[in-house]
Amino acid sequence: MHPLISVAELRERLGEVHLLDARWSLGRSDGHDQYLAGHIPGAVFLDVERDLTRHGEPHEGRHPLPPDAALAAAARRWGVRQGAPVVIYDDDRMLPASRAWWALRRAGLDARVLDGGWQAWLAAGGESETGEVVPAPGDVALGAPGDAGIIDTGGAAAWPEAGVLLDARVPERYRGETEPIDPIAGHIPGARNLPIGRLLADDGRFRPAPEIAAAFDAVGAGEDAAIAAYCGSGITAAQLALAGALAGRDVTVYPGSWSAWSNTPGRPIATGAE
């Protein structure tokens, strides 16, 4: 199934799908307030920090994945029922929704991201409602993917030996010219830079699939390559995985990303261009 759903299709299927509002961005804590002020009718708020991450040690990065059982419990708390398709949206260029899509798809859920998010819904004249939606507990049974589709710091170090490791951060962070968050600037040795911004149009939507495929090809991540991705803390890497899915590329994610690598003593640091 296509990982994106259009506003037009969602409006036709509004009563059939389970909606999740994933408004969040790094350094912003008002996602829930924004949700309460207005959301797509029936949407349940998904807390990215609480539901899609767990508290970890520095060497695990800022946004380590929650245990499989915790994610399954969250999905039931959101009211997701067995067999119900899920649609996720946000208001930040589909970034947090991509993390939710990736985490839930790993666990076997039929999940899609609303193309263009909240802004596209409003621009098309979509209805909205205010206040909290408190659903009855769901009965969905998620799979337990364990380590499927992810790599740890050791795996990220070894990946460039036989595959293509993509760094989704902006070029200046990749080159080590600036680092606004993590303790050390630079990139994982052997990684290639594919900033997520190259895959998005000015309105925050993904570029057409052929353009995304061409961007992957340009950094050596062709159809036959073993591809893995990282970013600052594992959120944008999931968006790169969604972009890959649009272009027919299977992307493994390093959830710890640079926040884990740069907090692991002894790991080498590369700077400059590739």
If you write DSSP's letter for every residue of 175-215 in order, what string do you get? HTS--SSSSS-SB-TT-EE--GGGGB-TTSSBPPHHHHHHH
Cα–Cα distance measured from residue 208 to residue 150, given in angstroms and rounded to the nearest whole number:
26
Strand partners, 252: 228
Residues 6 or more apart whose CB falls under 8 angstroms from that of 226 comprise 159, 162, 163, 164, 252
Phi (first) and psi of residue 156, to 5 degrees: -65, -40
Helix (H) or strand (E) holding 247: none
Cα 115–103–249 angle (5° rounding)? 65
Rounded Cα distance between 243 and 256, Å, is: 19
Active site residues: 231
Tell me which amino acid residue 6 is.
S
